[in-house]
Structure 1
Amino acid sequence: MSGISILACVMISMLSSGYYVVASVEPARYEWDFESVNLNVDLSRVLKKVNGRFLSVAIDASLVAEEKFMYLLTSPKLRTLAKALSPAFLRFGGTRQDFMTFNPTFLHSNENHNNSVFDADDICERLELPPLLEKRLKQEWTLQEVLLDKEDLQRKYRSVKFTECAVDLLYSFTNCSGLDLIFGLNELLRTSGNSWDSSNARTLLQYCESKQYSMSWELGNEPNSYEKKAGIRVDGYQLGQDFVQLRKILQESKLYNNTGLYGPDISQPRDHRRDLLEGFLESGAEAIDACTWHHYYVNGRDTSLEDFLDPEVLNTLALKTHEVMETIELTSPGKKVWLGETSSAYGGGAKGLSDTFVAGFMWLDKLGLGAKLGLDVLIRQVLIGSGTYHLVDENLDPLPDYWLSVLYKRLVGPEVLSIEAFSILGKTKRVRVYLHCTNKKSTSYKSGAVTLFALNLSKGPARISVPVTISNSTAEAFVLQSEQPGEEGLYSKSVKLNGEVLKMVDERTLPSLQGTPLPAGEHLRLPGYSFAFYVLSEAQALACR
Structure 2
Amino acid sequence: MLLACRKPGLRPPLLLLLPLLGPLGPCSPGTPAAAAPADDAAELEFFTERPLHLVSPAFLSFTIDANLATDPRFFTFLGSSKLRTLARGLAPAYLRFGGNKGDFLIFDPKKEPAFEERSYWLSQSNQDICKSGSIPSDVEEKLRLEWPFQEQVLLREQYQKKFTNSTYSKHSVDMLYTFASCSGLNLIFGLNALLRTTDMHWDSSNAQLLLDYCSSKNYNISWELGNEPNSFQRKAGIFINGRQLGEDFIEFRKLLGKSAFKNALYGPDIGQPRRNTVKMLKSFLKAGGEVIDSVTWHHYYVNGRIATKEDFLNPDILDTFISSVQKTLRDYWLSLLFKKLVGNKVLMASVKGPDRSKLRVYLHCTNTKHPRYKEGDLTLYALNLHNVTKHLELPHHLFNKQVDKYLIKPSGPDGLLSKSVQLNDQILKMVDEQTLPALTEKPLHPGSSLGMPPFSYGFFVIRNAKVAACI
> Who is 1:413 aligned against?
343
Q: Hey, what's the Cα distance between the residues in 1 that align with 2:155 and 2:327?
A: 26
Cα distance in 2, alignment partners of residues 126 and 419 from structure 1: 45
Q: Does the 8 Å contact 2:111/2:168 carry over to 1? A: no
Aligned to 2:367: 439
Query: C-alpha separation between the residues in 2 aligned to 1:127 and 1:287?
Result: 41
Counterpart of 1:489 in structure 2 is 415
1:221 is aligned to 2:151: no
Asked if 1:295 corresponds to 2:256, the answer is no
Q: Residues of 1 paired with 2:250 and 2:126: CA distance? A: 35
Contact 1:410 1:443 in 2 (8 A): no
Question: 1:50 matched to which residue of 2?
Answer: 55
1:277 matched to 2:281? The reply is: yes
Q: Identify the residue that residue 537 of structure 1 maps to in structure 2.
A: 463
What SS does the aligned partner of 1:283 have? helix
Which of 262, 265, 278 is the matching residue for 1:261? 265
Q: Which residue of 2 aligns with 1:510?
A: 436
Question: Structure 2 CA distance, aligned partners of 1:209 and 1:28?
Answer: 64
Please tell me whether residue 402 in structure 1 is matched to residue 332 in structure 2.
yes
Query: How far has the Cα of 1:366 moved from its partner?
Result: 3.0
Distance 2:177 2:133 in 1: 12
Query: Could you say if the C-alpha distance between residues 45 and 119 of structure 1 is closer, same or farther in structure 2, counting changes exceeding 3 Å?
Result: farther
Q: Which letter does structure 2 place at the counterpart of 1:452?
A: L
- The share of aligned pairs that are identical, in percent, is 47
- Give the match for residue 20 of structure 1: none
**What is the DSSP-based 3-state SS (H/G/I as helix, E as strand, rest coil) of the residue aligned with 2:248?**
helix
Match of 1:176? 182
Paired position in structure 2 for 1:91? 96
For structure 2, the 5+ residue unaligned runs are: 1-34, 113-120
Aligned mate of 2:162, from 156, 159, 162: 156
- Secondary structure at 1:262's aligned position in 2? strand
SS in 2 for 1:55: coil
Give the distance between the partners of 1:411 and 1:192, measured in 2 at CA. 53
Q: Which has the higher contact order (CA 8 A, sep 6+)?
A: 2
Report the secondary structure of 2:322's partner residue.
Answer: helix
Shift of 1:418: 1.2
d(CA) in 2 for partners of 1:123 and 1:28? 59
Whole-angstrom CA distance in 1 between matches of 2:320 and 2:237:
31
Check the 8 A contact 2:81/2:133 in 1, yes or no.
no
In structure 2, the partner of 1:77 is 82
* Matched residue type, 2:334: L
Matches of residues 235-254 of structure 1 in structure 2 within 5 Å?
235-254=241-260
Q: Does 1:477 align with 2:405?
A: yes
TM-score (norm 1): 0.75
Residue among 199, 202, 212 paired with 1:206: 212
Native 8 Å contact 2:406 2:458 kept in 1: yes
Classify 1:158/1:318 alpha carbon distance in 2 versus 1 (closer, same or farther; 3 Å).
same
> Who is 1:41 aligned against?
46
1:428 partnered with 2:356? yes
> Aligned equivalents of 1:311 and 1:106: distance in 2?
49
Specify the code of the residue in structure 1 equivalent to 2:377: A
Partner Cα distance (1:168, 1:266) in 2: 28
1:174 offset after TM fit, Å? Answer: 0.4
Deviations 1:152-193 (Å, cap 9, x if unpaired)?
A: 122111111011100000010001101000011110000111
Within the candidate set 448, 451, 454, 2:376 is matched to 448
Change (3 A) 1:524 1:190: same
In structure 2, distance between residues paired with 1:443 and 1:292: 34
Say which SS state the counterpart of residue 297 (structure 1) adopts: coil
8 Å Cα contact 2:79/2:134 also seen in 1: yes
Unaligned runs of 5+ in 1: 1-24, 30-34, 108-115, 322-338, 340-364, 368-379, 381-399
Match of 2:395 in 1: 467
Aligned partners of 1:517, 1:26: CA distance in 2, in Å? 19
Name the structure where strand makes up a greater proportion of residues. 1
Q: Which residue of 2 aligns with 1:315?
A: 319
Separation in 2 of the partners of 1:27 and 1:53? 41
> Offset at 1:131?
2.4
8 A contact 1:77–1:507 mirrored in 2: yes
* Number of residues of Structure 1 aligned to a counterpart in Structure 2: 428
Quote how far apart the aligned CAs of 1:233 are.
0.7
Residues of 2 paired with 1:450 and 1:422: CA distance?
19
Structure-2 change in CA distance of 1:28 and 1:454 (3 Å): closer
In structure 2, the residue matched to 1:366 is 327
C-alpha displacement at 1:26, in angstroms? Answer: 7.9
Letter in 2 for 1:431: L
Go from structure 1 to structure 2 and tell me whether the alpha carbon gap of 1:27 and 1:507 turns closer, same or farther (over 3 Å shift). closer
Counterpart of 1:234 (choices 234, 240, 243) is 240
The answer as to whether partners of 1:411 and 1:443 remain within 8 angstroms in 2 is no
CA shift for structure 1 position 121: 8.1
Aligned partners of 2:91 and 2:184 also within 8 Å: yes
SS of residue matched to 1:299: coil
* 1:456 and 1:527 in contact (8 A); partners too: yes
Tell me: CA distance 1:27–1:231, structure 2 relative to 1, closer, same or farther (3 Å).
closer
Asked if 2 retains the 8 angstrom alpha-carbon contact of 1:262 and 1:289, the reply is yes
Secondary structure at the residue paired with 1:511?
coil
TM-score, normalised to structure 2, is 0.87
Counterpart of 1:185? Answer: 191
What is the rounded CA distance, in whole Å, between the counterparts of 2:371 and 2:199 in structure 1?
Answer: 55
TM-superposed deviation, 1:444 = 3.5
Instruction: Tell me which amino acid in the other structure corresponds to 1:503.
Output: K
Specify the SS of the correspondent of 1:454: strand
Q: 2:445 aligns with which of 519, 535, 538?
A: 519
Distance 1:125 1:484, change over 3 A: closer
Does the 8 Å CA contact 1:61/1:93 hold for their aligned counterparts? yes
Aligned residues of 1:482 and 1:530 also touching (Cα < 8 A) = no
Contact 1:75–1:129 at 8 Å: present in 2 too?
yes
